[in-house]
Structure 1
Amino acid sequence: MDIDLDRLAGDLNEAAKQIKEASSKPAQEALPFVPKIMEQFQNLPSPGDLRKEMNVEACDTQKLENVYNAIQDVITNTKEAQEHFAPLGASLLDPLAKEMSDLSELVVKYLKQKGKRVERKEQEGL
């Protein structure tokens, strides 16, 4: 499997939009969207996939930065959604938050290997 960074960034951006949309609805109404959001993430490479499949030296730094920025949007929107769903006792997005945090750390590591300085944008609590 070759990692397509453009596609990965696009998929992450789309997921960030869906999460934001879900948290803009009343919590009860938005709850049915959560499984759809989680399903979308099943198709994304995991941090383990990225570790195994990505040739850091050969990848485009700008594309890697785009992936990082998209991950940060997902993390921010997930945190907002977690707060939104909290009254229902729903921690449905917790596994997603953990995976995105792990993916973010890995992409930061790769960016640093490529000589890029990365400002940590991650929200507290993820």
Structure 2
Amino acid sequence: MCFAITSGGGIDFGVPDVCLPGPVPYPNTASRPMATSVAYKVILGRGAAHTLATIVPISMGDNPGVLGGVISRRNMGPSRRLVPYPKLLLQNKPAVRLGATGIQNQINVNGTNIAPGQVKVLLL
């Protein structure tokens, strides 16, 4: 049982975000209230529901690696989820839930949702 993900709060976390020069691993976080392409017509708790199309445009934590990620060559790249919850469609797109894995800093690090934005709606 996992909570539905919303823009009401929460964090996406990925480690290690290996950046240059180095390579040096950094923790990478993305703040879900900054998300775009959310299901604006579906409000869960305090924020709009997230779908598979939702993107957080900026992830942070790898700023000291001035030459960018080893794979993506970017700093502060976007974060998005890759694992949908196919039993629930929100505005014709699959919902995502807490613990869904995805990519952060474009494609440089695998991440997951670690903090819920709401605690009332469970996706079983």
Shorter-chain TM-score tier: under 0.3
TM-score, structure 1 length as denominator? Answer: 0.27
Select the structure that is richer in helix.
Answer: 1
TM-score, structure 2 length as denominator? Answer: 0.27
Select the structure that is richer in strand.
Answer: 2
